[in-house]
Amino acid sequence: MLNILIVEDEKDIVEVIEYNLKKEGFKVSKAFDGKKGLKLAQDKRPALIILDLMLPELDGLEVCKKLKGDVRTAEIPVIMLTAKGSEIDRILGLELGADDYITKPFSLRELIARVKAILKRCSQKANESQSVLRFADLEIDIDRHEIKSFGKIVELTAKEFALLRYLAENKDLVMSREKLLDYVWGIEVAIETRTVDVHVRRLREKLGKSGSHIKTLRGVGYKFV
Ligand code: CA
């Protein structure tokens, strides 16, 4: 069951939102001030946060800024509630990284519809980003364990696949041989770092033109570009 956090000090509004979310099958957490809301968000990592702008302790804008600036909570979508319909509030809310806003008074049907729309968007994004890594000429399908270079399937061994996946997931970051050994081979046996070079060479050969994604940084390691 997906958990939704409501941060709002007006208890009757919280109650009515809670009632309607539960009716739709969501689990609900509540906080009546900004500080507690932030704490709950960090502890519970809800699927979505409905965040009021005007809050005691820490206002909604501050809470949103803190949520989006913290790796633990940055990915959690936020719907801002605002009493004022002014454009400034709206823009501010979105500039701070809020995913949507709704002005009070709002219809519950609309709020629920937005909640569902955002959750759907997020789960699609999460699925895509997890299962397929796409580059101009290269596709790495993690679920299917399949690599395509210029639309053609390339057969890789499990180790080569893991190596390519790890490099691609850490695109533009330099990965040392030790790090690659650790991730791809784990603690199996004491393997020389030269093994990594051998595998990268084979991987590059198999990838053909797409092999140029993997850059060698002499004495440092490899990097996917
Ligand atoms: Ca309020």
Examine the domain organization and report whether 124 and 155 are in the same domain: no
Examine the domain organization and report whether 106 and 14 are in the same domain: yes
For ligand 1, the distance from its centroid to the CA atom of residue 75, given in whole angstroms, is 24
Examine the domain organization and report whether 151 and 75 are in the same domain: no
For ligand 1, the distance from its centroid to the CA atom of residue 54, given in whole angstroms, is 4
Which residue, 48, 22, 54, is CA-closest to 114? 48
For ligand 1, the distance from its centroid to the CA atom of residue 10, given in whole angstroms, is 6
For ligand 1, the distance from its centroid to the CA atom of residue 101, given in whole angstroms, is 14
Of 129, 158, 187, which marks where a domain is finished?
Answer: 129
Examine the domain organization and report whether 28 and 86 are in the same domain: yes
For ligand 1, the distance from its centroid to the CA atom of residue 87, given in whole angstroms, is 18
* pLDDT score for 188: 56
CA distances from 164 to 130, 133, 143, 144, 223 (A): 15, 11, 14, 14, 10
For ligand 1, the distance from its centroid to the CA atom of residue 78, given in whole angstroms, is 15
* pLDDT score for 87: 54
Examine the domain organization and report whether 22 and 92 are in the same domain: yes
Low-confidence residues of the chain: pLDDT under 70: 84-95, 126-130, 187-190
Longest dimension (CA), the chain: 66
Rounded CA separation 209/160 (Å): 16
Strand order in the sheet with 146-149: 132-134, 138-141, 146-149, 152-154
Strand order in the sheet with 214-217: 175-176, 221-224, 214-217
Examine the domain organization and report whether 7 and 104 are in the same domain: yes
Examine the domain organization and report whether 36 and 85 are in the same domain: yes
* pLDDT score for 89: 60
